[in-house]
């Protein structure tokens, strides 16, 4: 069977059979066609007015702010977690990895319920927090927590893979050169896995942006405080489907920009020819 050839790389041989193109095209169409269908339903004359309404702007602004906050939180918690999973050696490590990745497969509503019983007023930690005067439910903090819960595994998975492929040899060299573990982390490990960390953070941001179920269950829905863009779309659908479609398109556009930025090669990468490409580490 004839093999696929890539126009820009004439010499490279790939063992992919040509007929693969057909199911691949169907697969791509399966994802792209619904998005196109939605774009076709947009009420373009009203589009500007629909997406710039007070509630839409409030929702978009809130979504961007909370997603940025949860991405920061994901980095603060996810980098240490990925390091422990990739470099540590302890009993129950495999189990811990499996459990940490659970939010990837859990329905977000389940995550919301779990968070409610943790940080809610009657929750495990919530009771203590309430005594301390901290109320999380119905606050923007709750939105950030819900988003972090579902997005953290993306960052951990992406970074752990990069850490494993990067190996420990550079870290060993740095240690014998006299660098303390913290110095090794700051000056060697993190810079080396920066591409993986960046793509993990982008994935986490994108996942946060799309978070719906856990937020709805755990944080509630109030304009400017907890009603993120997906929740606004869900609500707008009740009265103004045109507005819902227009906002959906905005969300798709933001997601496309964010995800596309991951696939742009970071400038520092050419300096590390022996380093594995971050794409190889992605789940």
Partner 1 sequence: MTFTFEATVAARGFDVSLALAPGQTVAVLGANGAGKSTLLAAIAGLLRPEAGSSQLGGTVLFDAAAGTWVPPHLRGTVLLAQEPRLFPHLSVLDNVAFGPLAAGASRRHARETARHWLAEVEASALAGRRPGELSGGQAQRVAIARALAANPELLLLDEPLSALDVHAAALLRRLLTRVLAGRRAIIVTHSVLDALMLSDAVVVLDGGRVAEAGPTREVLARPRSRFAAGLAGLNLLHGTLGPDGLSTAGGQLVAGRFEGADGVPAGPGAAVFPPSSVSVFLAAPHGSPRNTFAGVVTELEPHGDQIRVRAGDLSAFITPAAAADLALAPGVEVFLVVKAAEVAIFPV
Partner 2 sequence: MITKTTTLLATAVLAAGALAGCGAGTPSAGSTTTAAASTSASTPALSGTLTVFAAASLKATFTELAKEFEAQHPGTKIQLSFAGSSDLVTQITAGAPADVFASADTKNMAKLADASLLDGAAVNFASNRLTIAVPPSNPANIAGLSDLARDGVKVVVCAPQVPCGAAAVTAEKAAGVSITPVSEESSVTDVLGKVVSGEADAGLVYVTDVKGAAGKVTGIPFDAADKAVTTYPIATVAASKNKELAAAFTALVSGDAGRKVLSDAGFGAP
Calculate Rg over the CA atoms of the chain: 22
Could you give the CA distance from residue 10 to residue 5 in angstroms, rounded to a whole number?
7
Q: Round to whole Å and give the CA distance between 89 and 92.
A: 9
If we measure between CA atoms, which residue out of 157, 198, 191 comes closest to residue 171? Answer: 191
Judged by beta carbon, residue 138 or residue 170, the one nearer partner 2 is 138
Minimum CB–partner distance for residue 266 and partner 1 (Å): 11
Specify the residue, 192 or 233, whose C-beta has the smaller distance to partner 1: 192
> Of the two residues 170 and 234, which places its CB atom closer to partner 1 in the complex?
170
Q: Does 92 bind partner 1 (CB under 8 A)?
A: no
Tokens of 143: 């939105």
Q: Which whole-number Å values give the CA distances from 39 to 36, 144, 154, 212, 241, in the listed order? A: 5, 29, 28, 21, 13
Q: Does 88 bind partner 1 (CB under 8 A)?
A: no
How long is the chain? 283
Structure tokens at 179: 């660098």
Span 165-224, contacts to partner 1 by CB under 8 A? 169-170, 172-181, 183-184, 187-188, 191-192, 194
Residue whose CB is less far from partner 1, 6 or 180: 180
Q: Which residues bind partner 2 (CB under 8 A)?
A: 34, 38, 116, 120-122, 137-138, 210, 212-213, 216-217, 219-223, 226-227, 230-231, 233-239, 241, 248, 251-252, 255
In DSSP terms, which residues pair with 6 in a beta bridge? 9
Nearest to 59 by CA among 274, 271, 201, 246: 246
Residues 139, 227: contact at Cβ < 8 Å?
no
164: partner contacted, choices partner 2, partner 1, none (Cβ within 5-8 A by kind): none
Query: Which of partner 2, partner 1, none does 238 bind, CB closer than 5 to 8 A by kind?
Result: partner 2
Name which of 106 and 197 has its Cβ closer to partner 1.
Answer: 197
For partner 1, which is the closer residue by CB, 83 or 206?
83
Q: Is residue 274 close enough to count as binding partner 1 by CB under 8 A?
A: yes
Q: How many CB atoms within 10 Å of residue 22?
A: 9
From CA 18, how far away is CA 102, in angstroms rounded? 37
3-state secondary structure of 17: strand
- Binding piece for partner 1, criterion CB under 8 A, among 25-33, 107-115, 222-230, 269-277: 269-277
Q: Name the site residues for partner 1 (rule: CB under 8 A).
A: 169-170, 172-181, 183-184, 187-188, 191-192, 194, 268, 270-275
């Amino acid at each position: 069977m004839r093999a696929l050839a890539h126009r820009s790389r004439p010499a490279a041989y790939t063992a992919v059979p040509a007929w693969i193109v057909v199911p691949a095209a169907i697969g791509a169409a399966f994802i792209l066609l619904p998005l196109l269908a939605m774009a076709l339903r947009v009420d373009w004359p009203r589009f500007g007015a629909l997406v710039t309404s007070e509630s839409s702007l409030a929702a978009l602004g809130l979504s961007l702010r909370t997603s940025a906050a949860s991405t920061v939180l994901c980095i603060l918690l996810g980098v240490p977690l990925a390091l422990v999973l990739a470099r540590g050696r302890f009993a129950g490590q495999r189990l811990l990895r499996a459990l940490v990745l659970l939010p990837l497969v859990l329905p977000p509503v389940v995550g919301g319920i779990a968070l409610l019983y943790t940080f809610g007023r009657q929750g495990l930690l919530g009771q203590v927090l309430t005594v301390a005067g901290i109320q999380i439910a119905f606050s923007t903090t709750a939105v950030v927590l819900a988003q972090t819960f579902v997005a953290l595994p993306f960052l951990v998975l992406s970074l752990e893979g990069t850490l494993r492929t990067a190996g420990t040899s550079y870290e060993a060299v740095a240690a014998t050169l006299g660098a303390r573990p913290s110095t090794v982390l700051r000056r060697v490990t993190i810079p080396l896995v920066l591409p993986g960390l960046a793509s993990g953070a982008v994935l986490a941001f994108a996942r946060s942006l799309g978070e719906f179920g856990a937020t709805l269950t755990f944080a509630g829905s109030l304009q400017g405080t907890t009603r993120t863009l997906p929740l606004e779309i869900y609500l707008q659908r009740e009265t103004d489907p045109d507005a819902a479609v227009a906002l959906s398109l905005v969300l798709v556009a933001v997601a496309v920009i964010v995800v596309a930025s991951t696939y742009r090669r970071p400038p520092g990468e050419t300096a590390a020819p022996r380093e594995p490409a971050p794409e190889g580490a992605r789940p």
